[in-house]
Structure 1
Amino acid sequence: MPHPFRDLHVPGRPFILANAWDKGTARLFAALGAQALATSSGAHAFSLGRSDLGTITRDEALAHAQTIVSATSLPVSGDFENGFGDAPDALEETVRLSAEIGLAGISIEDISFPGVQHYTFDLAVERIKAASAAARALPNDFVLVARADGFMHGLYDLDESIRRIQAFEKAGADCVYVPYLQDLETVTRVCRSVSIPVNVGISTVEHLSLKDFATAGAARISLGMAMATAAYTALHQLSSNMFGEGDFAQLGESLPYEILDDCIAKGRAM
């Protein structure tokens, strides 16, 4: 049976996938209107005092995701980097474990760690084929997102990205994602290159509106690390003023405690 999370993925009618990094942010986003949540590997790493890219283990990612799942009744997708293994059977296990903790889906990248190298085309496709087969064997619906991350890291060009996501579609992916697209024309080209839903990351295209993404044909807009980065930016500015200049004035510009407390309480019930 289709799941409400899958039903949100409609090309031309994009929803915003809010990436939370703890129960508080999950409940805040839910209270303010988020329809679905996701983890963020980068935000999770930052919360642990680590740098991004390949520093989180599968057990840590699953435990963290379970915390987000338990925060609200909204569907949650796991941002699971390369699936925590190079071999296709590692992805099969990751899919099964993800479903067991209640995730509605996960996203899988086509790059390896440590270091950042892209998998060969054939291996990248085999990995998604294996993950898709595992997802289809689950008792509950599960949305598998296949990412072409080599583009973001400058490892291959847009033509290769499109070649990969078209192959990922044939391999059984439910949704595809090419991070760090730069403009509406490129977003439109990617969306038109496949017949399944396309996720667009907000980083690098913050100047576009939800209406623009709809016109391009996107089905989902993920915030990635954007909200965490915004929060850390505010903390950076406040701390610089306090510890550098002895100025506490910006603290007085914060939202009243009661508003935030009310949001957390409201989000808990959603």
Structure 2
Amino acid sequence: MPRHPNRQLASDFKALHMPGQPFILANAWDAGSARMLAALGAKAIATSSAAHAFTLGRPDLGQLTRDEALAHAQDLMAAVDLPVSGDFENGFGEAPDVVAETVRLSGEVGLAGICIEDTALPGTGFYEFDLAVERIRAAASAARALSQDFTLVARADGVMHGQYDLTEAIRRIQAFDDAGADALYVPVPGSVQELAAICRATNKPVNALAVGPLSKLSMQDFAALGVARISLGSALARLTHKAIFEAGTAMFTGGDFTPLSAMMPGSRVDALLLAGAAESGEKR
């Protein structure tokens, strides 16, 4: 069943986006991971298109459908009493009106916001500049037509995919800013200095992805750069898969079960799941 939009959660989410005072947007992949992150102190939860694909046994190749992404987001919203944002890839279509419809549907099910990237999925190509900007303009118009706050984040992904340079990324996020995006995001810039340049290029909130060299930064470091939001992407999900890989390799190639001795006690997991549950869920 669709979740009625929670105007307070949507407003709270938008208010979290303060340049120089970053919060962690914790990307989850199922109800259990969302509840654990909530119990550990997350202020907001996000989906991850890659982590969601992993739960379906698929590689991260941009093959999720809009219906799948919306249903998955609703599962996370039902699990926790926190704002939830959607990692909605390219908006599930090239045409601006398709992206606008994705925003409208996202607001209707109760999401507090979504990310839209300029990657021409499937693949790592990118939309030409004018089309990329028009897609964000249409998305922003749809967001403003909703009955509640909605945080639209526009992504310039070409640097991450080696398709264009930082100068082009900054040109794009400045145009996305003018087109009405609420926040901007250039995933995986090459250095801390490049992230600083991205933050200087706009007065809008900037999202940073805590992977690669940026994973070595502290919250204070991100704040000093002017970052407003720190997302995790699929990093936690990949860390979980790394644990499965390492324990599985030890078991199936060497008959070694000692990696399992590092597991978290079930009672601790149970306590976190209960602590992070939505009031309407299994919380007692």
TM-score (structure 2 length as normaliser): 0.93
1:17 to 20, 25, 28: 25
Structure 2's unaligned 5+ residue stretches are 1-6, 280-284
**Residue deviations 1:167-218 (CA, integer Å, cap 9, x gap):** 0000000000000123221111100100100000112211111111000000
**8 A Cα contact 2:78 2:278, kept in partner:** no
- In the alignment, does 2:262 pair up with 1:253? yes
From 186, 199, 203, the counterpart of 1:195: 203
Report the residue type matching 1:227 in the other structure: L
Q: Aligned partner of 2:259: which letter?
A: Q
The correspondence of residues 1-270 of structure 1 with structure 2, limited to 5 A, is: 3-204=11-212, 205-269=214-278
Moved more, 251-260 or 213-222: 251-260
Q: Aligned partners of 1:46, 1:189: CA distance in 2, in Å? A: 33
Shift of residue 113, structure 1, vs aligned partner: 1.8
Aligned residues: 270
How far 1:28 sits from its partner (Å)? 0.2
Contact 1:184 1:213 in 2 (8 A): no
Deviations 1:215-236 (A, max 9, x none): 0000000000110011100111
- Give the match's secondary structure for 1:176: strand
How far apart in 2 are the matches of 1:223 and 1:253?
Answer: 23
**SS of the counterpart of 2:207?**
strand
State the alpha-carbon separation in 1 of the partners of residues 61 and 12 from structure 2: 30
Identical-pair percentage: 58
Amino acid at match of 2:93: G
Q: Which aligned runs of 4 or more in structure 1 are off by greater than 4 angstroms?
A: none
Distance 1:98 1:66 in 2: 10
Work out the CA distance in 2 between the residues paired with 1:124 and 1:182: 22
Tell me if structure 2 keeps the 8 A contact 1:184–1:212. Answer: no
Alpha-carbon distance in structure 2 between the residues aligned to 1:14 and 1:50: 32
C-alpha separation in 2, matches of 1:200 and 1:260? 29
State the distance in 1 between where 2:186 and 2:246 align.
31
Report the CA distance between 1:150 and its aligned residue.
1.0
Q: Which runs of 5+ in 1 are unaligned?
A: none
On the 8 A contact 2:79/2:278 being kept in 1, the answer is no
| Aligned equivalents of 1:115, 1:222: Cα separation in 2 | 23
> CA separation in 2, counterparts of 1:269 and 1:54?
30
Q: Provide the TM-score with structure 1 as the length reference.
A: 0.98
Question: What CA deviation, in whole Å up to 9, does each residue of 1:63-86 have, x standing for no partner?
Answer: 111101111110000000000000
Are the counterparts in 2 of residues 38 and 76 from structure 1 also a CA contact under 8 Å? yes
Amino acid of the structure 2 residue aligned with 1:216: L
Partners in 1 of 2:197 and 2:187 — Cα distance?
14
